[in-house]
Chains A and B, each alone.
Chain A
């Protein structure tokens, strides 16, 4: 985790050509804002969770998000976790793609999302909650959890709207283990807004226009055998984001489980940096 954060900090320090992102501050919910074409965003998103009947843990994703086209973003994730009084391990990778089927802005903007996951059951990043996911899934020791591997396909229908400075996004999640198991469903809903809508004339670091505030709610919806909101976990989490003039973005989100199946407390934070014209820069180095 420390290495990942140091990597992003180094990227922030030594990669001067940046582009300011116009993203949303969510950790679980996706909006219709895609990466600008040719840009690469490097992101580290750790999560701490209190564990009932087990050891608390710290998990993290390192994310590489690339704008292939203005209507297509591709992301690659590396996941890991460290469970207190247990062990630290790499838990797998994910590859996801977001597509905007409509080329214009509408009241509601759909995005189609497809992800392939190759992770072990020791993965605790909780970047989506589906099926009957509950905190008890994370209680066994890592040595036991890491034995089981999941090859999963996840799809989302993202519906997202911008209105008077607010972004409101709804995600409907359907996940399928490619080997067995029924379809698992989940949801994520988020709303956020900059603290000030109008930009000031001078560059500033601590002014309100650089801060975003919002909240997100996410949880499971059972499986294709039993669609339900009970027996699965649900969370509510306020979010604060800070877009620094240097091009880096910092986010923090304390979250609380809304029922007994959820972790009581979840703290997420993230740091990201957007490198503009990534491919062109790479070609330039090879010339």
Chain B
């Protein structure tokens, strides 16, 4: 009987922990984006892609992707090794602005270089192509 309060406390603790984990998972599911991309500042979320929906920009973006990105992410953009699958929801759920910000800044610690050396227009063309993979 002495162990009953301990058992109750333990059960409650486990229940709380499970509930918290479920809530956390639910909030992540609302916006499942790669953590490195999710670091984009709030204003980047609202950046508008000037080439959105333009077929020529998709083609130009594809050309640029093959020149600069396919080496790590694969010709089909499905990722290789540590390089992310760019067709996955965790990338496709990002806004065009977040992708442009990430392309510009990279994730230097994890091996993704900064592509700020490409003119902004070409960065947006790559974003347009990436979004067309959805």
Q: Determine whether the beta carbon of A162 is less than 8 Å from that of B125.
A: no
Selected from B56, B63, B68, B108, the residue in CB contact (under 8 A) with A71 is B108
Q: Determine whether the beta carbon of B105 is less than 8 Å from that of A105.
A: yes
Least CB distance, B93 to chain A, in whole angstroms: 22
A194 to B117, CA, bound (A): 10
Q: Determine whether the beta carbon of B113 is less than 8 Å from that of A70.
A: yes
> Which of chain B's residues have a CB closer than 8 A to the CB of A24?
117
Q: Determine whether the beta carbon of B115 is less than 8 Å from that of A70.
A: no
A165 to B124, CA, bound (A): 13
Selected from A103, A162, A198, the residue in CB contact (under 8 A) with B108 is A103
Q: Determine whether the beta carbon of A197 is less than 8 Å from that of B122.
A: yes
Q: Determine whether the beta carbon of B105 is less than 8 Å from that of A37.
A: no
Q: Determine whether the beta carbon of B63 is less than 8 Å from that of A203.
A: yes
> Which of chain B's residues have a CB closer than 8 A to the CB of A22?
68, 115, 117-118
Q: Which of B70-125 contact A (CB under 8 A)?
A: 71, 104-122, 125
Q: Determine whether the beta carbon of B59 is less than 8 Å from that of A105.
A: no
> Which of chain B's residues have a CB closer than 8 A to the CB of A164?
120
Contact status of A20 and B63, CB under 8 A, knowing A33-B117, A71-B109, A167-B117 = no
Least CB distance, B64 to chain A, in whole angstroms: 6
Say if the beta carbon of A180 comes within 8 Å of chain B.
Answer: no
Selected from B61, B108, B116, B119, the residue in CB contact (under 8 A) with A70 is B108
Say if the beta carbon of A118 comes within 8 Å of chain B.
Answer: no
Least CB distance, B122 to chain A, in whole angstroms: 5
Say if the beta carbon of B38 comes within 8 Å of chain A.
Answer: no
Say if the beta carbon of B67 comes within 8 Å of chain A.
Answer: yes
Q: Determine whether the beta carbon of B71 is less than 8 Å from that of A70.
A: no
Q: Determine whether the beta carbon of B67 is less than 8 Å from that of A20.
A: yes
> Which of chain A's residues have a CB closer than 8 A to the CB of B68?
19-20, 22
> Which of chain A's residues have a CB closer than 8 A to the CB of B107?
70
Q: Determine whether the beta carbon of A37 is less than 8 Å from that of B113.
A: yes
Say if the beta carbon of B34 comes within 8 Å of chain A.
Answer: no
Q: Determine whether the beta carbon of A69 is less than 8 Å from that of B117.
A: no
Closest 8 CB pairs of A and B: A22-B117, A201-B59, A20-B67, A197-B119, A70-B108, A199-B60, A276-B71, A71-B108
Sample (12) of A-B pairs whose CB atoms are under 8 Å apart:
A105-B104, A197-B119, A198-B119, A198-B121, A198-B125, A199-B60, A199-B64, A199-B125, A200-B60, A201-B60, A201-B63, A203-B63
Residue numbers of B with Cβ under 8 A of A are 56, 59-61, 63-64, 67-68, 71, 104-122, 125
